[in-house]
Structure 1
Amino acid sequence: MEAVLVVNADLGPLHRVSVQHAIRMLCRRVAEIHEAEPDRSIGGYPLPRVVRLIRYVVTRWRFGSGPVWSRSGVLARDQHRCAYCGRFATTVDHVLPRSRGGRNTWRNTVAACYGCNQRKGDRTPAEADMPLRYEPVAPSWAMLAGR
């Protein structure tokens, strides 16, 4: 299923919704099409890629602590690329293993392919001689919504 990006009236990204939800937003006239698929339509509407809200929605809460940690968030932040070898990643690896007190935090987890995750096992990247290709960071709302 395709997802449609919802942006605020000032073009700041908010979240993604299904195509059906986006069409309902257009019918209720709370949003308008900002970007659409060429030569594709649903009913009387072009197939939207991005919809823009008509009125600005205050989202102060989004700028506070940032998004809560999640496995899907780690994979999205790392663009499903393994932090050790660069291949397609399907698992999340703890830089400091959980058995040694590592926690589920943005800075302690990276996306990893199954092979690298198994190879690293219960060791740190230095102990396993598997250096990280990038330093894990806490993402912003915009970083996750822009996917």
Structure 2
Amino acid sequence: MSDAYVLVLNASYEPLQRVSMRHAIKMLVRQVAVIEEEAGGSFGPFPVPKVLRLVRYVVTRWRHRRPRLCTKSAIKARDRMCAYCGGQAETVDHVVPRSRGGALTWENAVAACLRCNHRKADRTPAEAGMALLLTPRQPKFVVVA
């Protein structure tokens, strides 16, 4: 039972997340959710849930809104690693350098470690002989750091 997961639906029947069986039982005890579908068997006084539905609606607007601002912290949160070597991201690098007209946009900025950022310097990745491990693009959802 410990490795089984339970689907949690919003009060409007939209899927929210999957939680462990332990977490699902705690939600039932606190009466924040009701069982929509049972898996069969019982877990103490409760039937084993397969799908739970929240009693109250939870607002999840952040999941559906596109991010508006392209900031350095948002770039680092989007990439989570150096785009050149895969190490820890400490800075933000412009794929097309600012000295050549490159701006801080979702498609032109990547997270980088200090070593790779200094190695690339004022060149494009092709000129520096460095390949990008990821393609920079605007995220579909708001990036949560």
Structure 1 residue ranges (4+ consecutive) displaced by more than 4 angstroms after TM superposition: 61-65
CA–CA separation in structure 1 for the residues paired with 2:60 and 2:123 = 44
Deviations, residues 79-133 of structure 1 (Å, cap 9, x unaligned)? 1x11111111100000000111111111100010001101111110011111111
When residues 89 and 58 of structure 1 are mapped into structure 2, their CA distance, relative to the original with a 3 A threshold, is closer
Cα distance, 1:76 vs structure 2: 1.1
Pair 1:110-2:110 in alignment: yes
The match for 1:99 is 99
- The letter of the residue matching 1:76 is A
Residue 88 of structure 1 aligns to a residue in which SS?
coil
RMSD: 3.2
Q: Give ranges in structure 2 of 5+ residues lacking alignment.
A: 1-8, 18-31, 34-53
- The letter of the residue matching 1:102 is G
Q: Give ranges in structure 1 of 5+ residues lacking alignment.
A: 1-7, 14-31, 34-51
Deviations, residues 5-54 of structure 1 (Å, cap 9, x unaligned)? xxx934559xxxxxxxxxxxxxxxxxx69xxxxxxxxxxxxxxxxxx893
The match for 1:136 is 136
| Number of residues of Structure 1 aligned to a counterpart in Structure 2 | 102
What TM-score do the two structures reach when normalised by structure 2? 0.57
Residue 127 of structure 2 aligns to a residue in which SS?
coil
When residues 122 and 12 of structure 1 are mapped into structure 2, their CA distance, relative to the original with a 3 A threshold, is farther
Residue 119 of structure 2 aligns to a residue in which SS?
helix
Task: Say if 1:67 and 1:140, in contact at 8 Å, map to a contact too.
Answer: no
**Following superposition of structure 1 onto structure 2, how do residues 5-84 of structure 1 map, counting pairs within 5 Å?**
9=10, 10-12=14-16, 54-57=56-59, 59=61, 63=64, 65-79=66-80, 81-84=81-84
Cα distance, 1:63 vs structure 2: 4.3
Structure with bigger gyration radius: 2
CA–CA separation in structure 2 for the residues paired with 1:107 and 1:132 = 12
Percent of matched pairs sharing the same residue: 46
What TM-score do the two structures reach when normalised by structure 1? 0.57
- The letter of the residue matching 2:124 is T
